[in-house]
């Protein structure tokens, strides 16, 4: 069930009515959990089995971690909890990915029997709720939070439908305290939620889905395309994935805020970052902070003598988290390389007062921004393009411009190139305006009723003119 479909609008209207009818907190929690399972099983009712198992297992294992009297027993329970959670993720998401190279190796050494390739249904959002379950167990182990005493409440923490299939990744203290009291839909919560939802819908339907028509047509078959086309397609995909993913986050936050439950901000205008470290502080914030807290720091972080190795391991595993494919591994390694390069270069630049003074000037900030975003967008080639020859071709065309400005063979016929360029310009202008006004949702909240109606009308007109013919799933549903 996609947020931008009529089925979801009907579903959510029913949820709001029931939330108003059921005033008691326990009834509201039970209703929201049932609604979340209906929402999740809309794709396939079999998807409920792994999340139900994970919910029950992590609920009881966390209790065992908390009440264990010795550190050794607590560690055993934590290890058991992590083994089951990661084992489920590995089975559903990575079994075939790792079995294929094993079979190749066995064949090379003369072993006749091979392990079967299975047709496994990947549960939507399993990476997200698995990471939430892991953070819950680890935080209980470290004493950062107490285990939840109510299975229904814990189940809602993992399955809450506004964030279930594509984040943000919640921490226990982000969510559980909020459902400790009954919820009332207020005028302020409804207005703020609607604003957030509309901003997200605008990003997803108007910008992301239309840019997909161009970026997909080029990057799926890039061979023979000139540098200008590859560069424009890469730019289009970078804007598309941001508007698609941040659009989902905005829509999910808006839906949740209507019900007076706050979800954390997941994006903070990452394409304004002036270095790669800042980019990762702004992009997919819930994942980057999760990787920092539960992987990078436990590995030793920057305090050990293996800072660069820890960065690379963290980012490669972060890339693999996105999908069972080598291009995601390459993308993670590329991001790790950028972060390492940033640490090395910034350390040396800090020794030069003249360089620091230049970088503090507007011209220096613009140069830093241009260099950062040039390499950030090149990274999207690794993220999207699946085959190694196509990746190498795109990177070559991206790095070494061929000055071929012909678009005759670029396959533009059915992909509305002028719409693509218009949307890219619209996005760039929108980012500048967002900085000036402090965010779209805040600006909408500050408008007078008359101006707000005019803004809604303008959004509606744009949506009707440029709404694609099909409802495109969110990119991060596959993760």
Catalytic positions, written as ranges: 322
- The C-alpha atoms of residue 400 and residue 385 are separated, in whole angstroms, by 18
CA distance 69 to 110: 51
Query: What b/e readout covers 315-352, taking b as 16+ CB neighbours within 10 angstroms?
Result: bbebbbbbbbebbbbbbbbbbbbbbbebbeeeeeeeee
How many CB atoms are located within 10 Å of the residue 379 CB?
Answer: 21
| Coil/strand/helix, residue 109 | coil
User: Residues of 384-411 as b/e, b for ≥16 C-beta within 10 angstroms?
Assistant: bbeeeebbebbbebbeeeeeeeeeeebb
Alpha-carbon gap, residue 54 to 157, rounded angstroms: 12
* Cis amide bond preceding 168, omega within 30: yes
Residue 80's Cβ-count burial label (10 Å; 0-12, 13-18, 19+) is: middle
The C-alpha angle 198, 203, 209, rounded to 5 degrees, equals 125
Q: Taking CA 178 as the corner, what is the angle to CA 176 and CA 182, rounded to the nearest 5 degrees?
A: 120
Strands (E), 174-297: none
> How many CA atoms are closer than 13 Å to the CA of 354, on its beta-carbon side?
0
Q: How far apart are CA 139 and CA 91, in angstroms?
A: 25
Closest to 131 in 3D by CA, of 292, 291, 314, 310: 291
Alpha-carbon distances, residue 256 vs 114, 182, 250, 252 (angstroms)? 48, 14, 10, 6
The DSSP output letter for 163 is T
Do 292 and 276 meet the contact criterion of CB atoms below 8 Å apart? no
């Amino acid at each position: 069930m996609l947020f931008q479909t009529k089925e979801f609008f009907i579903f959510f209207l029913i949820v709001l009515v029931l939330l108003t009818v059921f005033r008691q907190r326990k009834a509201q929690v039970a209703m929201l959990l049932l609604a979340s399972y209906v929402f999740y099983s809309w794709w396939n009712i079999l998807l409920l089995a792994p999340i139900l198992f994970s919910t029950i297992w992590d609920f009881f294992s966390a209790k065992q971690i908390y009440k264990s009297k010795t550190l050794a027993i607590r560690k055993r329970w934590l290890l058991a909890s992590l083994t089951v959670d990661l084992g489920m993720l590995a089975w559903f998401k990575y079994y075939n990915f790792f079995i294929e190279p094993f079979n190749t190796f066995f064949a090379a050494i003369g072993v006749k029997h091979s392990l079967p390739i299975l047709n496994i249904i990947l549960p939507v959002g399993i990476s997200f709720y698995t990471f939430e379950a892991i953070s819950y167990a680890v935080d209980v182990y470290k004493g950062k939070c107490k285990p939840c005493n109510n299975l229904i409440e814990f189940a809602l923490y993992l399955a809450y439908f506004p964030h279930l299939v594509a984040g943000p990744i919640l921490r226990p203290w982000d969510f559980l305290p909020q459902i400790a009291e009954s919820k009332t839909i207020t005028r302020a919560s409804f207005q703020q939620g609607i604003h957030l939802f509309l901003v997200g819908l605008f990003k997803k339907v108007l910008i992301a889905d239309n840019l997909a028509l161009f970026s997909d047509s080029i990057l799926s078959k890039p061979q023979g395309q000139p540098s200008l086309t590859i560069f424009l397609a890469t730019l289009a995909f970078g804007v598309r994935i941001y508007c698609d993913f941040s659009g989902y986050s905005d829509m999910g936050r808006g839906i949740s805020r209507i019900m007076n439950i706050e979800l954390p901000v997941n994006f903070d205008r990452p394409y304004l970052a002036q270095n790669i470290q800042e980019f990762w502080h702004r992009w997919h914030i819930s994942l980057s902070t999760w990787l920092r807290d539960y992987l990078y720091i436990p590995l030793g972080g920057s305090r050990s003598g293996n800072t660069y190795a820890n960065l690379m391991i963290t980012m490669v595993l972060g890339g693999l988290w996105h999908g069972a494919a080598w291009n995601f591994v390459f993308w993670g390694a590329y991001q790790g390389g950028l972060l390492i390069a940033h640490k090395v270069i910034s350390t040396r630049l800090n020794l030069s007062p003249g360089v620091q003074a230049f970088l503090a000037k507007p011209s220096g900030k613009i140069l830093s921004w241009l260099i950062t975003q040039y390499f950030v967008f090149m990274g999207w080639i690794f993220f999207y393009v699946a085959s190694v020859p196509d990746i190498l071709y795109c990177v070559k065309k991206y790095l070494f411009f061929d000055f071929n400005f012909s678009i005759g063979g670029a396959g533009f016929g059915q992909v509305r190139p002028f719409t693509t360029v218009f949307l890219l310009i619209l996005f760039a202008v929108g980012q500048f305006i967002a900085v000036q006004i402090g965010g779209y949702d805040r600006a909408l909240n500050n408008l007078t009723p008359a101006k707000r109606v005019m803004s809604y009308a303008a959004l509606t007109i744009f949506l009707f003119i440029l709404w694609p013919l099909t409802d495109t799933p969110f990119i991060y549903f596959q993760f």
